[in-house]
Structure 1
Amino acid sequence: MRSVVSALAVILSLLLTGVAVPMAWTNQNVVREDGFVALTAPLGKDQAFQSRLAAAAVGSLESKVDLPGPAEQVGASLFKNAATSMTTWPEYPQAWSDTVRQSHRLNFGGAAVAGQANASTSLVLDVGPLTALVAKRLASTTGIPVTPPDSVPINIGGPTQRQQVDSVAAYAPLWWVPALGAVLLFALALLLARRRGAVVLFAGLGLAALAGLWEALSTIAKGAGDAGLGGTAAGALFVKQLMAAAVSDFSSWIATAAVAGGVLAVLGVLILILTPKARRPAR
Structure 2
Amino acid sequence: MRFLAALLFWLVTTVLLAVAIPATWAQQNVVSEDGYAALAAEAAKNPQLQEAMASELATQITALAADSGYELNNTGLVRGVTAAYTANAGFPDQFAQANRIAHRWMFTDSVRHDAGDENRWFVDIAPMLRDDSLRQTLGNLNLDVPDTLTVPITVPESSALRPGQLRTLATWGPIISIGACVLTGIFALLTLATARQRGKALAALGVSALLVGAAGWAGIEVARRYVDDALNNTTGDVRTVADVMVDTAEASLHHWLNLTLAAGGVLAIFGVLVSVLGGLRRSV
TM-score bin, normalised by smaller chain = 0.7 to 0.9
Q: Check whether the contact 2:62–2:74 (CA below 8 A) recurs between aligned residues.
A: no
Aligned partner of 2:241 among 235, 238, 241: 238
Structure-2 change in CA distance of 1:21 and 1:88 (3 Å): same
1:86 paired to 2:85:
no
Determine the C-alpha separation between the residues in 1 that align with 2:58 and 2:263: 49
Moved more, 189-198 or 9-18: 189-198
Aligned partner of 2:17 in structure 1 is 17
Paired residues of 1:121 and 1:159 also in contact (CA < 8 A): yes
Partners of 1:128 and 1:143 in 2: CA distance: 16
**1:182-234 Cα distance to aligned partner (Å, 9 max, x none):** 11111112222222222222111121111111111222334444453333123
- Secondary structure at 2:142 match in 1: coil
Q: What are the equivalent positions in structure 2 for 1:14-53 lying under 5 Å apart? A: 14-53=14-53
Equivalent in the alignment of 1:98: 97
8 Å CA contact 1:201–1:266 kept in 2: the answer is yes
Once the two structures are superposed, what CA deviation does each residue of 1:106-161 show, in whole Å capped at 9, x if it has no partner? 333x1433647989644333323234449962897235352436222222474535
In the alignment, the residues of structure 2 paired with residue 120 and residue 126 of structure 1 have an alpha-carbon distance, to the nearest angstrom, of 15
For normalisation by structure 2, the TM-score amounts to 0.79
- Report whether the alignment pairs 1:154 with 2:152: yes
SS in 1 for 2:144: coil
| Residues 45-66 of structure 1, C-alpha deviations (whole Å, 9 max, x = no match) | 4444334333333434543543
Please give the alpha-carbon distance, in whole angstroms, between the structure 1 residues aligned to 2:201 and 2:208: 10
Alignment partner, residue 125 of structure 2 = 127
What amino acid does structure 1 have at the position aligned with 2:98? Answer: T
Contact 1:62 1:79 in 2 (8 A): no
Partner SS state of residue 125, structure 1: strand
Greater Cα radius of gyration, structure 1 or 2: 1
1:252 paired with 2:263, answer: no
Could you tell me which residue of structure 1 aligns to residue 203 of structure 2? Answer: 201
Cα 1:143–1:40 change in 2 (3 A) is: closer
AA at the equivalent of 1:142: N
1:95 is displaced (CA, Å) by 3.5
Q: Quick check: 1:197–1:270 contact (8 Å CA) kept in 2?
A: yes
What pairs with 1:57-72 in structure 2 (closer than 5 Å)? 57-64=57-64, 65-68=66-69, 72=70
TM-score by length of 1: 0.79
8 Å CA contact 1:54–1:82 kept in 2: the answer is no
Q: What is the one-letter code of the residue matched to 1:12?
A: V
Q: For the structure 1 residues 193 and 119, does the alpha-carbon distance in structure 2 shift closer, same or farther, using more than 3 Å as the test?
A: farther
* Percent identical: 22
Structure 1 partner of 2:273 = 270
Distance between the aligned counterparts of 2:275 and 2:114, measured in 1? Answer: 61
Deviations 1:164-187 (A, max 9, x none): 644543333220101111111111
What's the offset of the Cα at 1:80? Answer: 4.4
Inter-partner Cα distance in structure 2 for 1:103 and 1:117: 18
SS across alignment from 2:44: helix
Secondary structure of the structure 1 residue equivalent to 2:196: coil
Q: Which moved more, 1:261-270 or 1:33-42?
A: 33-42
| Alignment partners' CA distance in 1, 2:98 and 2:53 | 10
How many equivalent residue pairs?
272
Q: Give 1:187's match in structure 2, choosing from 189, 201, 213.
A: 189
- Whichever structure has more helix as a proportion of its residues is 1
The equivalent residue for 1:169 is 170
Pairwise CA distance, 1:19: 0.6
